[in-house]
């Protein structure tokens, strides 16, 4: 399938997984990758495109700062690490983007923000205004408080959050960067005969079953959550691409129409209402 039409995408959401921006050995930030990410996304802005970054990594950065070797299991400790790490992470982003004279903004969302009609509309207006001003919003879930909202729960992972943001702002393209190349017929880590799937025209039960078992040690989102995210993005009219973030230059290659990762084709659903997706039990 020819992907040259991707070059014409104007409003892009890019989700960065924890494994993409941290070193496997230490859990510390990979500043070389981050600098390259900043340079590439700033160049997209220079081309006149609108860019939103959904960045994981706050908990990992926080635990690294406090000398905690493993990802904490206790809720309070995870929240504390998120609070420590989020400020450090955004500071690094702002410093790097500042080198290219690119203004950024921080947006911390919770599921309650999206469920409430007034706050959801306010968030939408804020994103639209920031993008109109040429700002690159950097988004994460507000992990420090979101798990306290027991009535509503949280997004659970930034794959889901990024697809909700893409639907909220009417994005043309959602790029999920993780530690996997894309969708396979089975887990390629255990099945050498697993075949790569380049294009997904429709998400059905058979396709969902292919997402089982692929996960990451440092993040929270496996392939199953990425397929769920694709449902939201596709139904809202947004193409979604899953690609390996080992080399963040893949963003540039994708935007040039080159065939990297698995593309889930958009098919806007008649009567699409984002609130219906957020409230479904699957995302509780």
For residue 41, give the CATH number of its domain. 3.40.1160.10
Q: Which domain holds residue 202?
A: 4-57+100-283
Residue 234 near residue 265, CB atoms below 8 Å: yes
Q: Is residue 64 part of a domain?
A: no
Structural domain includes residue 89:
no
- What integer pLDDT is reported at residue 88 of this predicted model? 93
The percentage of residues in the chain with a pLDDT greater than 70, rounded to a whole number, is 89
Q: Does residue 83 belong to any structural domain of this protein?
A: no
3-state secondary structure of 233: helix
What is the total count of domains within the chain? 1
114 located within any domain: yes
Identify the pLDDT of residue 194.
87
Say what the pTM is.
Answer: 0.90
Q: Is residue 68 part of a domain?
A: no
User: Which pLDDT does position 283 carry in this prediction?
Assistant: 43
Higher-scoring residue by pLDDT: 224, 4: 4
pLDDT confidence bin for 165, thresholds 50/70/90: very high
Task: Confirm whether 107 is domain-assigned.
Answer: yes
Q: Is residue 148 part of a domain?
A: yes
Cα 146 from Cα 109, distance rounded (Å): 8
- Residue 124, pLDDT > 70, answer yes
93 assigned to some structural domain: no
Extended beta strands in the chain, E state = 11-16, 50-55, 104-109, 136-141, 173-178, 183-184, 196-197, 199-200, 239-244, 262-264
């Amino acid at each position: 399938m020819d992907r040259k039409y991707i070059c014409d995408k104007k409003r892009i959401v890019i989700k960065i997984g924890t494994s993409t921006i941290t070193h496997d050995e230490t859990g510390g930030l990979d500043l070389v990758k981050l600098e390259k990410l900043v340079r590439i996304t700033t160049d997209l802005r220079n081309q006149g495109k609108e860019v939103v970054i959904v960045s994981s990594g706050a908990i990992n950065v926080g635990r690294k700062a406090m000398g905690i070797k493993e990802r904490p299991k206790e809720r309070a400790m995870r929240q504390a690490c998120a609070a420590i790490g989020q400020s450090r992470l955004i500071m690094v982003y702002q410093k790097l983007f500042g080198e290219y004279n690119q203004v950024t903004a921080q947006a911390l969302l919770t599921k309650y923000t999206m469920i409430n009609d007034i706050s959801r509309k306010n968030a939408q207006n804020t994103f639209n205004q920031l993008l109109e001003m040429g700002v690159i919003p950097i988004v994460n879930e507000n992990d420090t408080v979101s798990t306290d909202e027991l009535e509503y729960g949280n997004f659970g992972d930034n794959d889901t959050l990024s697809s909700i943001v893409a639907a909220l702002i009417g994005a043309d393209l959602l790029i999920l960067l993780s530690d996997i190349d894309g969708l396979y017929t089975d887990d390629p880590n255990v099945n050498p005969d697993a075949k790569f799937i380049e294009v997904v025209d429709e998400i059905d039960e058979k396709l969902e079953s292919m997402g089982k078992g692929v996960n990451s040690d440092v993040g929270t989102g496996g392939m199953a959550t990425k397929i769920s995210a694709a449902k939201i993005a596709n139904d809202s009219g947004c193409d979604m691409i899953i690609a390996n973030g080992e080399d963040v230059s893949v963003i540039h290659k994708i935007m040039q129409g080159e065939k990297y990762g698995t593309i889930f084709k958009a098919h806007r659903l008649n009567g699409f209402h984002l609130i219906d997706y957020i409230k479904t039990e699957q995302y509780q």
